Structure 1
Amino acid sequence: MTGTFVNVLAIIVGSFFGVLFRGRFTDNIQKIVMQGISLAVIIIGLEMALSIEGSNELLIVIFSLVIGGICGELLKIEKHLEEFGEKIKGKFESKNELFVQGFVQASLIYCVGAMAIMGAIQEGIQGDASLLFTKSLLDGTTAIAFASTAGIGVMFSAIPVLIYQGAITLFASQVELILTPAVISQLTATGGLLIVGIGLNILEVAKIKVGNMLPSILVAVILSYLIL
């Protein structure tokens, strides 16, 4: 799990430097930084989402989002994430109004995506953590910018990353059998649309419960495996 540990460390270090810079920026600078991050997140999401080819694959993505969203709404995933963030905020007696928002949004950004899943599988099966090292560089850089505006809550997104990627690495041999190229394509496209949703939330264009849509990724894998 070397790659995941490095990824977690990168997020923590990046967030630390971001928090140091936070007090030195005016409100206008913080706002423009967040807008820049939002646009970058949306571009990344769109690039992933456009990986699908054909109407059948598009239908799988649509049904995955609908079914996964219903499951997540019933499970109240985003509410639990927010409550976890509130507990951490309370323990550290933080007065930052963006603490929970930073924690939830950063957790989703770092966990939703093919790089997190495929990197963890690659390390678990082959012992090759190179993909996660690359992700660590990206996440660490993003954490600096994100924490400079959202604050220390971003740092604690390292906890879900450790649990999520670590679990995939440990069970990589079982997961690899399911993830055919066709399944990966659907997983990537579905995850990409969720990332677009995160970007729109940060821009405050809409309030999309991306956390409740997380089961869509699992649904996409199941539907792809059964249909394609």
Structure 2
Amino acid sequence: MLIGPYVNGAAVIVGGLIGALAGHKIPLRVKTALPLTFGLCSVGLGINLVIKVKYMPAVVLAMVLGAVIGELIFLEKGIGKAAGSTRGIVNKYLPRVHGLSHEEFTEKFVAILVLFCASGTGIFGAMHEGMTGDPSILYIKTVLDLFTAGIFATMLGYAVITIGIPLIIIQV
């Protein structure tokens, strides 16, 4: 049974909740430094995993085809619409985030939705666990996502917790 996607999704929800609740207490310098650190960790993990790839042409082809298909079906526009409706639903039941226009919120939300749900680490980690039963790659992503969700929730509020749901669906 797969466990990694559920642990990863739960980490995004918990991190988003903590970030939304305690966001005003986290210094700006920490909010700035941590995403850079997470990016560096992801790059290092990616380099390590790419070195182990046996069929790199297939990986490149999949990336090119994915980009072309995404552009042809206007995937980003659809995600943007979903982000806008998510903000409306979240604002209805939870405290609002002030300081961001609708366009700024949508732009940032789409970026982090793609970051969490369409990352190479997440897709590869889910496939790796499905084929081998080893969730270790998703566990690494879980640690990064817990803190990343917290940092982004300091800007976007409770909407970040909603990303846990599509994350689980995509990884399962």
Check whether TM > 0.5: yes
Aligned partner of 2:4 in structure 1 is: 3
Question: Which residue in the other structure is 1:162 paired with?
Answer: 168
Whole-angstrom distance in 1 between the partners of 2:115 and 2:73: 20
Structure 1, gaps ≥5 residues long: 167-228
> Aligned equivalents of 2:76 and 2:33: distance in 1?
24
> Does 1:111 pair with 2:117?
yes
Aligned pair partner of 2:148 in 115, 138, 142: 142
Letter aligned with residue 124 of structure 2: M
Deviating beyond 4 angstroms after TM superposition, the runs of 4 or more aligned structure 1 residues are 44-47, 49-52, 67-70
Distance 1:3 1:61 in 2: 25
The answer to which structure, 1 or 2, has the higher relative contact order (CA under 8 A, 6+ apart) is 2
After superposition, residues 71-90 of structure 1 pair within 5 angstroms as 71-90=69-88
**Change in CA separation of 1:71 and 1:129 when aligned onto 2, cut-off 3 Å:** closer
Equivalent-residue separation in structure 2 for 1:145 and 1:5 (angstroms): 21
CA contact (8 A) 2:11 2:143 kept: yes
Give the CA deviation at 1:77: 1.1
CA distance in 2 between partners of 1:45 and 1:138 (Å): 8
Please give the root-mean-square deviation of Cα atoms over the aligned residues, in Å: 3.2
Alignment correspondent of 1:18: 19
Give the TM-score normalised by the residue count of structure 1.
Answer: 0.55
Identity %: 30
Cα deviation code 1:89-130 (max 9, x no counterpart): 112236433643443222222233332123212322232223
Q: In the alignment, which residue of structure 1 is the partner of 2:158?
A: 152
Distance in 2 (CA, whole Å) between partners of 1:84 and 1:44 is: 29
State the Cα distance separating 1:4 from its structure 2 match: 0.5
Alignment CA distance shift 1:44-1:105 (3 Å): farther
Change (3 A) 1:87 1:157: same
Q: 1:150 to 1:34 in 2, by over 3 A?
A: farther
Matched-pair contact (CA < 8 Å) for 1:15–1:154: yes
Gaps of 5+ in 2: none
Q: Does structure 1 retain, via aligned residues, the 8 Å contact 2:12–2:164?
A: yes
Shift of residue 49 of structure 1? 7.0
Q: Secondary structure at the match of 1:128?
A: coil
